[in-house]
Chain A
Amino acid sequence: MYLSRLHLQNWRTYADATFEFNAPSEHRSVVLIGAMNGHGKTSFLLSLYLGLFGRFGLRHCEGFAAYDSGQDFKTYRDAITKFRRNTADSSEPTVIDITLTPSWRDSSEEEKVRVVRRWYFSGRNEPKQGSAFEEVDIYVGDRLQKPTTIDKDPIVLAHERVERNLFEAHVAPAFFFDGEQAQKLIESQGERGLKKAVEVMFGTKVVEELAETMNQYLLRMRQTTGGRRRCSEQQQELDDKLKERDVLSEQIGKKQADLQKLENDKEQKEQQRSNLQEELARMGGMNNLTYAQVEADYVRAEKEQVDAEKALGSLVRQLGLALGTWRLAPAIQNRLRTEALREDWESLKRGTIDNREKVLAAALPEPDPILGDLPQQTRSALRDRFAIALESIYNPPPSNCAENFLLGHVKGDARSRVLQLLAQAQSIGSAKIRGAAKRARDARDAFEEAKSRKERMQDVPVTTQQIREKLDTLNSEIQQNIHGIGAIENELKVLKANLHELNKRIGEIREQLARLGPEQRRIAVAERVCRALEELQESLRPATTARLESYVTRHFVNIADRRFRTATVSLAPGQPPQLVFGNGHPAMLLETNSGFERRAFGIAFTLALAEITHRRVPLVIDTPLGNADSVYRPRTLKALADFDLDQIIILTHDKEVTPDLVEHIRGQISQKFLVEYQEAENASIVHPDSYFTR
């Protein structure tokens, strides 16, 4: 929500002036209003207190802190007369017309609120008497709000309406204040006042009022409605029984969890027991064998292993060449066979040629009884023919014999032995080796088993004893589990029976309550509401204070001198605000600090209040920096501009927020005004979009 318009007529130095404020944007929330001393800054601020809250806002004006808005009408009339422009025409009223408009960040339910307050004076410029003096019109949206009762002072009614739509009068100084006033706020109201402001803004005050209203309602209902006691007692019993049932249900849940745990534990132990029993059974089987048997088996296995390994070694040695060449064996065998054929062929041929003379002599003897006495030439020709015929017997050589000798060094018996070895490698070599290797492997396994058995045999008495001890422990634990499970099951039975009874009773009470009249049922609910509200007030108060302390600390540390960096603001009950230091320094009362520290605290409190209450109320500060030094000024100004509010209106003179200082927040300024008192017109004139120059 932001201040969208302020119209002042015959108000202090303002004759007839209007401030029209732009709707704030996300990053530009600061409005600067420059005015020299006496030109209209404080008048602007006072107009907000008195325009919005009338006499209920007077005590926030300087010099009226002790004012009692309930009774003292004269002081109020005098004050307004004093604030009225001294040259005003008596026929014209003094008017403050304020419009607050929801910003883009407010919910769509929020509506524009306009408060128009007029004060009337007589011909001698004296306040009119009675109700003729003051008049207030309130518009929500654009609708004029009419009084709903004639029993009440319309000004009081209007005031309540303003407070309802905006905020309560006594928290106004938390949002509209001058820097000095921020200090006074702490000094005059202290911790109680500050926290009260939070309670109002945070809504806990409404909770208090509701508690009071509900108690009154209950009292009235009890007086007018019969059977209160019955209803109340039944409702109380129902509440008690429901609480009892919650406790019982929780107990049952816990017992069921315990039961489940015990059952799981038992199951695990039973599994362990089963495993141990199996192991023991295996041990028992071994126990039946005599040690001698195991020893004999061991010796036999050891011997067999040695024999098998020897046999394998021997075979490998025997078949060494064959094993080495068995892959080439078929080719070598073929070659050797063809060369053997050639050797045979050559041998036969050579034998025939070697015997040629004998064969010719036998075929052509001399003298020849068949051919007779042939001429020598003929005989010689016949011999040649025979000789050629004889040789032609071995030509050509056999088709499968080698053409020459590649392996000519392997002949005769040597060739036969080689062929025999190759045949062995082919036919039986690999099978024999595999068989021998298998035998060796089996023998080795058998030996290992015999050896292991022999070793286990030696440990059997110790191991079985250990297993038996473990089994005894497990059996005992399982027994305990069984007892525990039984006990919990019994408890559960009892608890469930109780729950059943309780549910029956709850059902009965509910039926009885349902038969009660509507008044009694309302009383029952109202009583619960009252109890809840009572508890709520107790719980919310400390929580709210703790958060307020935390938020104020954050803003204060951000603005104040660096030496307060470790400080924490404490708003302990019954104590004035203090600064507590984490580094062991003694706590410091805020009121004993310098003026600017108190001012910084006031600003920090305001920011914290806006933050904790989520109220998007405009912040209006008259001279926020005061006489702060050149380090404080930009820091405080920046902290204000950075704060997430819709609108921050800063009223300043030319030596405070100087044009140079404005540069620090240039991007966050939404609007500037310059207010000047013009003697010729005897009035303050508002110049929009103007400001002090260098």
Chain B
Amino acid sequence: MKAPPCFEDLESKKIIRNICEQHRIDMELLKDLCEIVNVHAGSGRRIGLPEDIETVLDRFIKNGRES
């Protein structure tokens, strides 16, 4: 799944990265969460959405990316 174009664009990427740093999260986490939103919007199902979010959050926490 491709990330939204604003995550690829140089200028907006800079803005996103700065805000992520300020809030001690990373761009990968946001990209993963965007992907979940896209997948669920496309499939039309909401079942499993919180679980998908939790998987991404847990991966973030487990990998020590949580400050």
Taking CB atoms, residues of chain A closer than 8 Å to B33 are 210, 213-214, 529
Is B44 in contact with A529, judged by CB distance below 8 angstroms? no
Taking CB atoms, residues of chain A closer than 8 Å to B49 are 213, 217
Is B24 in contact with A239, judged by CB distance below 8 angstroms? yes
Taking CB atoms, residues of chain B closer than 8 Å to A536 are 15-16, 19
- Which residues between 514 and 530 of chain A lie within 8 Å of chain B, taking CB atoms? 518, 521-522, 524-526, 528-529
Q: B26-61 interface mask toward A, CB cutoff 8 Å, 1 = contact, 0 = none? A: 000110011011110111110101100110011011
Is B42 in contact with A522, judged by CB distance below 8 angstroms? no
Q: A604-620 interface mask toward B, CB cutoff 8 Å, 1 = contact, 0 = none? A: 00000000111100000
Q: Given A161-B43, A164-B38, answer yes or no on A522-B7 (Cβ-Cβ < 8 Å).
A: no
CA–CA, A614 and B8, complex, Å: 9
Kindly report which residue of chain A lies nearest to residue B15, judged by CB atoms.
A539
A sample of 11 cross-chain residue pairs with beta-carbon separation below 8 angstroms, ordered by A number, consists of A161-B42, A202-B5, A202-B6, A203-B34, A207-B6, A207-B30, A239-B23, A239-B24, A242-B67, A535-B23, A614-B9
CA–CA, A433 and B34, complex, Å: 102
Q: Given A207-B34, A528-B25, A532-B22, answer yes or no on A522-B44 (Cβ-Cβ < 8 Å).
A: no
Taking CB atoms, residues of chain B closer than 8 Å to A545 are none
Taking CB atoms, residues of chain B closer than 8 Å to A165 are 42
* Shortest CB distance A206–B (Å): 5
Q: Does A290 reach chain B (CB closer than 8 Å)? A: no
Is B57 in contact with A525, judged by CB distance below 8 angstroms? yes
Is B23 in contact with A148, judged by CB distance below 8 angstroms? no
Taking CB atoms, residues of chain A closer than 8 Å to B57 are 522, 525-526
Number of interface residues of A (CB under 8 A): 53
Is A148 in contact with B37, judged by CB distance below 8 angstroms? no
CA–CA, A160 and B45, complex, Å: 10
Kindly report which residue of chain B lies nearest to residue A224, judged by CB atoms.
B50
- Which residues between 204 and 256 of chain A lie within 8 Å of chain B, taking CB atoms? 204, 206-207, 209-210, 213-214, 217, 220-221, 238-239, 242
Taking CB atoms, residues of chain A closer than 8 Å to B12 are 202, 540, 543-544
Q: Which of A107, A149, A203, A544 has the most CB of B within 10 A?
A: A203
Taking CB atoms, residues of chain B closer than 8 Å to A221 are 50
Is A525 in contact with B5, judged by CB distance below 8 angstroms? no
- Which residues between 499 and 558 of chain A lie within 8 Å of chain B, taking CB atoms? 518, 521-522, 524-526, 528-529, 531-533, 535-536, 539-540, 543-544, 547
Taking CB atoms, residues of chain B closer than 8 Å to A156 are 44
CA–CA, A531 and B24, complex, Å: 11
Is A213 in contact with B37, judged by CB distance below 8 angstroms? yes
Is A203 in contact with B6, judged by CB distance below 8 angstroms? yes
Q: Does A152 reach chain B (CB closer than 8 Å)? A: yes
Q: Does A661 reach chain B (CB closer than 8 Å)? A: no
Interface of A is mostly: helix
Taking CB atoms, residues of chain A closer than 8 Å to B39 are 164
Is A613 in contact with B15, judged by CB distance below 8 angstroms? no
Q: Given A203-B4, A213-B53, A522-B61, answer yes or no on A529-B30 (Cβ-Cβ < 8 Å).
A: yes
CA–CA, A156 and B43, complex, Å: 10
CA–CA, A615 and B2, complex, Å: 12
Is B37 in contact with A160, judged by CB distance below 8 angstroms? no
* Shortest CB distance A643–B (Å): 17
Q: Does A660 reach chain B (CB closer than 8 Å)? A: no
Is B38 in contact with A217, judged by CB distance below 8 angstroms? no
CA–CA, A161 and B42, complex, Å: 4
Q: Given A207-B34, A532-B20, A614-B5, answer yes or no on A157-B53 (Cβ-Cβ < 8 Å).
A: no
CA–CA, A165 and B58, complex, Å: 28
CA–CA, A22 and B58, complex, Å: 46
Q: Does A109 reach chain B (CB closer than 8 Å)? A: yes
Is A522 in contact with B58, judged by CB distance below 8 angstroms? yes
Is A532 in contact with B30, judged by CB distance below 8 angstroms? yes
Q: Does A163 reach chain B (CB closer than 8 Å)? A: yes
Q: Given A206-B34, A522-B57, answer yes or no on A543-B7 (Cβ-Cβ < 8 Å).
A: no
Is B61 in contact with A148, judged by CB distance below 8 angstroms? no
Kindly report which residue of chain A lies nearest to residue B40, judged by CB atoms.
A213
Taking CB atoms, residues of chain A closer than 8 Å to B3 are 203
Taking CB atoms, residues of chain A closer than 8 Å to B8 are 614
Kindly report which residue of chain A lies nearest to residue B3, judged by CB atoms.
A203
* Shortest CB distance A216–B (Å): 9
Is A529 in contact with B5, judged by CB distance below 8 angstroms? no
Is A157 in contact with B37, judged by CB distance below 8 angstroms? no
Q: Given A156-B44, A157-B43, A206-B38, answer yes or no on A525-B66 (Cβ-Cβ < 8 Å).
A: yes
Q: Given A163-B42, A206-B38, answer yes or no on A532-B19 (Cβ-Cβ < 8 Å).
A: yes
CA–CA, A368 and B57, complex, Å: 165
CA–CA, A612 and B12, complex, Å: 11
Q: Does A201 reach chain B (CB closer than 8 Å)? A: yes
Kindly report which residue of chain A lies nearest to residue B6, judged by CB atoms.
A203
Is A210 in contact with B44, judged by CB distance below 8 angstroms? no
Is B6 in contact with A532, judged by CB distance below 8 angstroms? no
Is B23 in contact with A532, judged by CB distance below 8 angstroms? yes
Taking CB atoms, residues of chain B closer than 8 Å to A109 are 1-2
Is A207 in contact with B44, judged by CB distance below 8 angstroms? no
CA–CA, A217 and B49, complex, Å: 9
- Which residues between 144 and 161 of chain A lie within 8 Å of chain B, taking CB atoms? 147-149, 151-152, 156-157, 160-161
Taking CB atoms, residues of chain B closer than 8 Å to A518 are 58, 61
CA–CA, A551 and B15, complex, Å: 19
Is B45 in contact with A540, judged by CB distance below 8 angstroms? no
Is B53 in contact with A217, judged by CB distance below 8 angstroms? yes
CA–CA, A540 and B33, complex, Å: 18
Contact partner of A201 among B5, B16, B29, B37, CB < 8 A?
A: B5
Is A531 in contact with B23, judged by CB distance below 8 angstroms? yes
* Shortest CB distance B20–A (Å): 6
